[in-house]
Amino acid sequence: MPNSVRHAPPASRAISVLLSLLVLAVPTGLAQSTIPSQLDDREFWNLVTSLSEDDGAFEDENYLSNELGYERTMQRLQESVPPGGVFVGVGPEQNFHYAAALRPAMVFVIDIRRQNAIEHLMYKALFELAEDRADFLSRLFSRPQPSALTADADIGALFASFATIASDRGLFDRTLASIEDALMNRHHWPLDTPDRTALRKVFSAFYDAGPSIMYVFRATTQTHPTYAQMMTARDQAGRTWSFLGSRDAFERVRDMERRNLIVPVVGDFAGPKAMKAVGAYVRSHGARIGAFYASNVETYLFSAGTSKRFYDNLQTLPIPDRAPIIRAFFAAVARDCTAQRPTIRTPVIGDIRALLDAHGSGALKSTCDLVTLSR
């Protein structure tokens, strides 16, 4: 996941002072959470803009996750993470799986690319426009909805029904216009020309590839799981954990989107502002981080030599004991850390406090140390 290479100027002195005052203004012993049950459109957009850093760059498009294996971790997370905290994540749709399962009060998605924030706004509009899961997929992939589907359709049957339906350019144009209307006219969020260009680019990718869209799907020989595979994956008990896996999961995420409680933030995990600003907001509302989803960002930060800055930033978040960090490892880590034999593409769980203790003691020296801190 992207969050490693950043092209942005340092935070201003005023921002640094403001963040320091926010942190110092709230006592260490946090009061009962006052996270709002709903944000109005102005409050939401103020968070998107005020917490964000400048746009950054990453090597891949990341239209969707490629962590086929997330379903193997969900039961443990659901049993260990109390609902009502604040979830912080990275990347696109995989955050919805965690939101549906863990039931946080609020979600912040911090990603280095503004395109990812625009993709989340696209999803937000689709959640608001769609009547149910079938309508959501019809709009997302610009494919006419099969008439036989019901609101409680099995997730496998849902995707199978769209597999042979061709994309419809007219539906694409109408849906894109509806998305822009929802964001710019109903919510009054000022998307500029580059934002609208990014929106069309992302929406076009889903139109072009349909349910077979992958993490990287243009001009590549790499094999990644498709959107359909990601959404229909089941754990050993046969349970699906995707946000589209059931009507209840879909409705939970849609309800959060309609209440403006899933907030996309542009920022580098190791950057000067976004992480600290999110932490200051959560702390100012007497709330704590229930879970932190880092994907494989830490691997990139070690490669870039900026991992220390990320852990320093993580230290500023209000984190209770035993709060989990959810991470994933890929082939490069498997080659480098053969003795530890990391699980590949299946998110694993670490303890944030243990991670920060290792960082503070100087014991966190490489990605391989993260493997030993994960289970």
Q: Using DSSP bridges, classify how beta strands 106-111 and 86-89 pair: parallel, antiparallel or unpaired.
A: parallel
Q: What is the pLDDT of residue 220?
A: 55
Total structural domains within the chain: 1
Q: Quote the tokens at residue 213.
A: 């869209």
> Please, what sign has the CA dihedral across residues 139, 141, 146, 149?
negative
The helix (run of H) or strand (run of E) holding residue 336 is helix 331-336
In this structure, what are the phi and psi dihedrals at residue 86, rounded to the nearest 5 degrees?
A: -110, 130
Tens digit of pLDDT per residue, the chain (375 long)? 555 444 444 444 444 544 544 444 443 334 589 999 999 999 999 999 999 999 998 877 889 999 999 999 999 999 999 999 999 999 999 999 999 999 999 999 999 999 999 999 999 999 999 999 999 999 999 999 988 888 889 999 999 999 999 999 999 999 999 999 999 999 999 999 999 999 999 999 999 999 999 987 555 556 789 999 999 999 999 999 999 999 999 999 999 999 999 999 999 999 999 999 999 999 999 999 999 999 999 999 999 999 999 999 999 999 999 999 999 998 778 788 876 777 878 899 999 999 999 999 999 999 999 999 998
What pLDDT shows up at residue 30?
Answer: 42
289-295 and 324-327 beta bridge pairing: parallel
Q: How far, in Å, CA of 86 to CA of 278, rounded?
A: 10
Cα–Cα distance measured from residue 261 to residue 259, given in angstroms and rounded to the nearest whole number = 6
C-alpha span between 362 and 354 (Å, rounded)? 12
**End-to-end distance of the chain based on CA atoms, in angstroms?**
20
Q: Would you say residue 220 lies in a domain?
A: yes
pLDDT of residue 334: 75
d(C-alpha 276, C-alpha 293), whole Å: 16
Q: Could you give the CA distance from residue 242 to residue 226 in angstroms, rounded to a whole number? A: 13
Is residue 311 within 8 Å of residue 356, measured between CB atoms?
Answer: yes
The pLDDT value given to residue 1: 52
Q: Would 145 be classed as within a structural domain?
A: yes
For residue 103, tell me if it sits in a domain: yes
Structural domain harbouring 229 = 13-26+40-372
Assigned domain for 250 exists:
yes
Rounded Cα gap, residues 294 and 247, in angstroms: 27
d(CA 22, CA 279): 9
Find where tokens 């494989």 sit.
296
What is the token pair recorded at 208? 């072009």
- What does each C-alpha distance from 94 to 104, 122, 189, 363, 369 come to in angstroms? 15, 15, 24, 30, 25
CA 226 – CA 27 distance, rounded (Å): 46
Give me the phi and psi of 89, to 5 degrees please: -140, -170
pLDDT of residue 41: 98
Alpha-carbon distance of 291 to 319, in angstroms, equals 9
- Residue 311 located in a structural domain: yes
Q: Is 63 helix (H, G, I), strand (E, B) or coil?
A: coil
Q: Is 5 within a domain?
A: no
- Sheet bearing 262-266, strands edge to edge: 262-266, 106-111, 86-89, 289-295, 324-327, 348-351
Between CA 99 and CA 249 the distance in angstroms is 9
2 in a domain, yes or no?
Answer: no
Q: How would you label 93-111 residue by residue, b for 16+ Cβ within 10 Å and e otherwise?
A: bbbbbbbbbbbbbbbbbbb
Three-state SS letters, 153-182:
CCHHHHHHHHHCCCCCHHHHHHHHHHHHHH
Tokens 């994309």 sit on residue: 167
Which pLDDT score, from 0 to 100, does residue 336 have?
Answer: 80
Beta strands at 289-295 and 86-89: parallel, antiparallel or unpaired = parallel
pTM of the model: 0.89
CB atoms within 10 A of CB 363: 11
Looking at the domain assignment, is residue 35 inside a domain?
no
Neighbours of 128 (CB within 10 A): 16
Q: Which residues pair with 266 in a beta bridge?
A: 111
